[in-house]
Amino acid sequence: MSNDQNYALRIEMLETCRRMNASGINQGMAGNLSVRTEDGFLLTPSSMPYDTMRPEDLVEMDFNGTYVGPRPSSEWRFHRDILRERKDVNVVLHCHSMYATTLACHHKTIPSFHYMTGVAGGTTIRCAGYATFGTQELSDNALVALKDRYACLLGQHGQISLGKTLERALWLACEVETLSRMYLQALTLGEPPVLPDDEMERVIEQMRRMSYGRAPDRDEVTDVARPRQIA
C-alpha cells in the first residue's frame, strides 16, 4: 500500500469513527475500529477522543501483536483474531450502542423476529458470553458468536459488526442497533413469533443476490425492476 493510499485509509477511518458518534451508536471514547492492510491492520488507539484524533494516531499492528504508534485499543486481541480468522472481511467495528448493549446486558440473542435479522448472515444475532474487556477470553467468545455471522452482541458489553468496507460495517452496526430497539419494543408485548428457518434461508439468499443493489433474479421471480431505456 502506497503512502498516499495509507493516508487516505486513515482519513476514512477517522471519518467513520466520528460518524459512529454522530449517528448515536457510540459515545465518547468507547468503541474501536480496525481495517486490514497488506501487512497487518490499522487500529484506533487507546483513550483518545475521536474529535481530536489525527491520522498519524492510528496504530499499525501486525498479527503477532506488535505495533507502531500510540498504545492500541485494549480490544486489539479480538480485532487481530477476527481479521486473522475471517478472510472474508476487512473491517471490525465495535461500539456500545444503547439498545444492542441493553440486550447484551441480559445476554439475549436476537432471534428472527423480523426478516432483517438476516443482514447479519444467519437466523439469529448471537450474544457472546461475558469476559473481561481486553482479554483473550473475550476474543475467543466473540469468535464463537461470529461463526457464520457478520455481527454479534457481547455479553454485558456492546456489539461487533464486520464488513468488507468501512461503509458496510458502519451500516451493519446501525442495522443491528435498529433491530435491537425493535426487539426490545416487541418484547413489551411478549416474546414475538419468529420466522421459520426455511423462510430465513430464502431471505438470506435474497439479500445475497441484492447485495450490490441489484433486483432479485430467482427463477420464480418474474416481476423484476429493470433500467428504463431512454430513446
Give the pLDDT means over successive 10-residue stretches in the chain (231 positions). Answer: 82 97 91 95 95 95 94 97 97 98 98 97 97 98 98 98 97 98 98 97 91 44 57 57
Does the active-site annotation cover 177?
A: no
CA distances from 172 to 164, 169, 176 (A): 11, 5, 6
Return the ∠ at Cα 140 (arms to 138 and 143), rounded to 5°: 110
pLDDT of residue 94: 98
Q: Which three cell numbers stand for residue 70?
A: 500510540
pTM: 0.90
CA–CA separation, 222 and 218 (whole Å): 8
pLDDT of residue 200: 96
Q: Which three cell numbers stand for residue 148?
A: 457464520
Q: Which three cell numbers stand for residue 1?
A: 500500500
pLDDT of residue 214: 38
CA–CA separation, 1 and 12 (whole Å): 15
Instruction: Specify the CATH number for 3-209; select among 3.40.225.10, 3.40.640.10, 3.30.70.1070, 3.40.30.10.
Output: 3.40.225.10
pLDDT of residue 228: 63
CA–CA separation, 31 and 108 (whole Å): 20
Could you say which of 75, 85, 201, 205 is catalytic?
75
pLDDT of residue 212: 39
CA–CA separation, 159 and 185 (whole Å): 19
